[in-house]
Amino acid sequence: MAKIAINIATGSLQQPEIIVGIDLGTTNSLVAIIHPETKQPIALKEPAGSDESVATSSLVPSIIHFDERGAVAVGELAKHYLITQPAQTIFSAKRLMGKAYDDIKKNADFFSYKIIDDNTESLVKVQVADKFYSPIELSSFILKELKQRAEHILKTPVNKAVITVPAYFNDAQRQATRDAGKLAGLDVLRIVNEPTAASLAYGLGLSKDESKTIAVYDLGGGTFDISILHISNGIVEVLSTNGDTYLGGDDIDQAILEYWATQNGLTRDDLKANKTLMQSLRLKAEEAKKHLSFNDSYSSDLNGEVLALHKAEFNTLIQPLVDCTLTSCKMALKDAGKSVTAIDTIVMVGGSTRIPLIKEAVSAFFGRAVNDSVNPDEVVALGAAIQADILAGNNKDFLLLDITPLSLGIETAGGLMDVLIPRNSKIPTKAGRQYTTQIDGQSGMRIAVYQGERDLIKDNRKLAEFNLTNIPGMPAGLPKVELSFFINADGILLVKAKELRSGVEQTIEVKPQYGLTDTEVETMLMESITHAKDDIAIRALVEARTEGEQLLQTTERFIQKNNSYLSAEEIKSTAAAMQALQMALTMDDKNLIHQKIESLNEVSRPYAERVMDIAVAFAMKGKIV
Ligand code: ADP
Ligand code: MG
């Protein structure tokens, strides 16, 4: 019998909260969920209305239009304004995510709306009339539309989502995507790589003991990505990515447009002068392209002129573009260190992979048939829905994997951060390192665990601190304290310290993943970038100081123990060199410290060697020194 939960506080039926999967594409975006009954992933589309001639689609064009009063329209509605109001109609906002003007200026011509060149390294803004929008805001408009659409179709609030991004997106771009989600009122539970999502939609990587190498070929509207993935034991690793961020279906449309223009004696300038004609031709070109994916020829007319295209002509037109993508595939394989024969599965993603020539060329390149059974427009969103379902805890067999957002380490001498687990490590993971005491007879060791990218712990965030006590009295440097970090699949960090000679040990549990908000993580990363130079200088100084202090201690101990073997002159010059070093330690000059360390070493080297010889001689006679 099925159980129904009732919320006692509100008296309402408790529905398991829905988590949607979202493909936020450059050209098209869409939402998918796991169907509550069939348990299969489905892309959401509005049910067909009374007018059955209007086919509904799951795809929402990633286009945003602002009218004179600043009102926002997204999707098909906005698409109509691409030509009539280009300055107010934003497309390809995804290309601007996490970018500064400098990053995109060589492609500035591509955008027909106004991007602010503020001559700084800060993130770009788009200007529409007298308003400025960040790419995060622009993407949030698309996400808001998707959220509303999903709520309308599902008749339930949608607050949680998994959003996909290209595998090559860096931290800034991923963070921007997260922020866009937040701005749209979505709690973004996970950012997933598009090729990973596509693999999931094909059921790849869903079983625990599977080990496969996969090529994901994604040709969309404006971008081409090839990713080589390795999946084993539920861990998806991106071995390499390649592609072209300005190559896709739009270029195919353009090639057809130019072909027809030439046939009809139209020059580039003619087209530039008549934008309406150009746009009509472009729409016809896209129509022809799609038609030729399922037919051998296309014919239509525009203002009484015949527009025709045969498949053979079309194939010739797109051959250079296809070759380009294959060159990228070659490079991706090379970077992944794999040969074509090492690829177990090829997954086709993106609307443009419907083109037969492309399927054939990719199959021929990899020497095997490609996987194209899942709708290439929807496959990424469907995979995101599967990931969402796993996060909702409905697919318990599947091990959830994440990466550490920031490095984890401990404080060492001089307040330096010693990283044990670098950021972006896949979890579960473990790492260990040995440390020792600095003072003779030291019986305890304070272990402070930090998270962050800076060289000095004071700039990072402290997660925990504990003491390893009861270390038996030993001379400095003798105890061997083994410190191990272990992050389990839930993101919980276990820190264990063990003194190996005595077996004394202590363990502490830390939760690093939940300690920081996304914005804090972002800020810490940004600071580690801006302060990188200072950090290196400070680290060098601190290291020099620690080395100097240690040398002073050991020299002092040595002199106390062995003064009977040393001449008065040697003791005097050592004292002088020690004093000079002591002095240098109070100044912020690492070179000076190194110089004084070297001088002290020079003074002590001759007698240290002599004393060693004596010690060895004693030892040979069977005496203990
Ligand atoms: P993106 O991931 O960049 O948002 P999509 O995967 O949605 O893009 O792909 C959109 C592109 O796919 C457009 O250029 C569109 O014209 C093209 N496309 C869609 N259907 C077909 C088809 N049947 N044949 C060829 N191209 C197609
Ligand atoms: Mg896509």
Instruction: Read off the DSSP letter of residue 390.
Output: H
pLDDT band at 356 (very low <50, low <70, confident <90, very high): very high
- Per-residue model confidence as pLDDT tens digits over 19-53: 999 999 999 999 999 998 899 999 999 887 655 55
- Per-residue model confidence as pLDDT tens digits over 93-127: 999 998 888 888 888 778 889 998 776 667 889 99
Any atom of ligand 1 within 6 Å of the Cβ of 221: yes
Q: Which two tokens stand for residue 231?
A: 């999946």
Q: Which two tokens stand for residue 268?
A: 């580039």
Q: Calculate how far, in angstroms, residue 351's C-alpha sits from the geometric centre of ligand 1.
A: 3
In the prediction, which pLDDT does 399 show? 46
Any atom of ligand 1 within 6 Å of the Cβ of 27: yes
Identity at 24, one-letter amino acid code: L
Which atom in ligand 1 lies closest to the alpha carbon of residue 293? 24
Q: Which of 352, 354, 372, 378 to mutate to test the pocket of ligand 1 (most atoms within 8 A of CB)?
A: 352
Any atom of ligand 1 within 6 Å of the Cβ of 352: yes
Q: Which two tokens stand for residue 557?
A: 């101990």
- Residue 94 a catalytic site member: yes
Q: Calculate how far, in angstroms, residue 317's C-alpha sits from the geometric centre of ligand 2.
A: 23
Any atom of ligand 1 within 6 Å of the Cβ of 287: no
**Section 63-79 average pLDDT:** 94
Q: Calculate how far, in angstroms, residue 371's C-alpha sits from the geometric centre of ligand 1.
A: 17
In the prediction, which pLDDT does 439 show? 83
Q: Which helix (H) or strand (E) covers residue 125, if one does?
A: none
Q: Which of 22, 23, 28, 349 to mutate to test the pocket of ligand 1 (most atoms within 8 A of CB)?
A: 28
Mean model confidence pLDDT for the chain: 86
Any atom of ligand 1 within 6 Å of the Cβ of 433: no
Give the number of whichever ligand sits closest to the CA of residue 94.
1
Which atom in ligand 1 lies closest to the alpha carbon of residue 25? 4
Give, in order, the Cα–Cα distances in Å from 220 to each of 325, 384, 390: 12, 17, 27
What's the CA angle centered on 208, arms 204 and 213, to 5 degrees? 45
With contact defined as beta carbons under 8 Å apart, do 57 and 28 qualify?
no
Return the SS3 of 280.
Answer: helix
Q: What is the bridge-based pairing of β-strands 60-61 and 28-34? A: antiparallel
Q: Which two tokens stand for residue 77?
A: 């509605």
Any bridge partners for residue 13, and if so which? 6
- Residue 313 a catalytic site member: no
Residue 193 phi, psi (nearest 5): -70, 135
From the number of C-beta atoms within 10 Å of its C-beta (0-12, 13-18, 19+), residue 375 rates as middle
Distance of alpha carbon 401 from alpha carbon 197, whole angstroms: 13
**Predicted confidence (pLDDT) at residue 216 exceeds the cutoff of 50:** yes
Which atom in ligand 1 lies closest to the alpha carbon of residue 59? 7
**Predicted confidence (pLDDT) at residue 620 exceeds the cutoff of 70:** no
3-state secondary structure string across 44-83? CCCCCCCCCCCCCCCCEECEEEECCCCCEEECHHHHCHHH
**Predicted confidence (pLDDT) at residue 623 exceeds the cutoff of 90:** no
**Section 235-261 average pLDDT:** 91
In the prediction, which pLDDT does 3 show? 41
pLDDT band at 75 (very low <50, low <70, confident <90, very high): very high
Which of 194, 225, 378, 459 is labelled catalytic? 194
**Predicted confidence (pLDDT) at residue 443 exceeds the cutoff of 70:** yes
* Atom 19 in ligand 1: residue holding the nearest Cα: 351
* Atom 11 in ligand 1: residue holding the nearest Cα: 221
Residue 397 phi, psi (nearest 5): -70, -20
Q: Calculate how far, in angstroms, residue 48's C-alpha sits from the geometric centre of ligand 1.
A: 22
Q: Which residues contact 174 (CB under 8 A, 6 or more apart)?
A: 98, 165, 191
Q: Cβ–Cβ contacts within 10 Å for residue 555, how many? A: 20
In the prediction, which pLDDT does 618 show? 58
Residues with CB under 5 A from ligand 2 (ion): 25, 220
Which of 137, 145, 179, 218 is labelled catalytic? 218
Instruction: Read off the DSSP letter of residue 386.
Output: H
Q: Calculate how far, in angstroms, residue 141's C-alpha sits from the geometric centre of ligand 2.
A: 18
Identity at 523, one-letter amino acid code: T
In the chain, what are the domains?
6-202+376-391 (3.30.420.40), 206-373 (3.30.420.40), 408-528 (2.60.34.10), 534-620 (1.20.1270.10)
Q: Give me the half-sphere count of Cα atoms (radius 13 Å) on the Cβ side of residue 32.
A: 30
With contact defined as beta carbons under 8 Å apart, do 459 and 527 qualify?
yes
Any atom of ligand 1 within 6 Å of the Cβ of 291: no
Signed CA dihedral, 202, 207, 210, 211: sign only: positive
**Predicted confidence (pLDDT) at residue 54 exceeds the cutoff of 50:** yes
Q: Calculate how far, in angstroms, residue 40's C-alpha sits from the geometric centre of ligand 2.
A: 21
pLDDT band at 5 (very low <50, low <70, confident <90, very high): very low
In this predicted structure, which of 62-66, 107-111, 118-122, 169-173 has the lowest mean pLDDT?
118-122
Any atom of ligand 1 within 6 Å of the Cβ of 223: yes
In the prediction, which pLDDT does 426 show? 74
pTM of the model: 0.67
- Of 610, 608, 548, nearest to 577 by C-alpha is 548
Any atom of ligand 1 within 6 Å of the Cβ of 290: yes
Q: Which residues contact 180 (CB under 8 A, 6 or more apart)?
A: 24, 97, 135, 136, 137, 139, 140, 143
Which of 94, 125, 498, 596 is labelled catalytic? 94
In the prediction, which pLDDT does 294 show? 96
Q: Which residues contact 172 (CB under 8 A, 6 or more apart)?
A: 98, 522
Distance of alpha carbon 89 from alpha carbon 105, whole angstroms: 19
- Of 184, 181, 219, nearest to 198 by C-alpha is 219
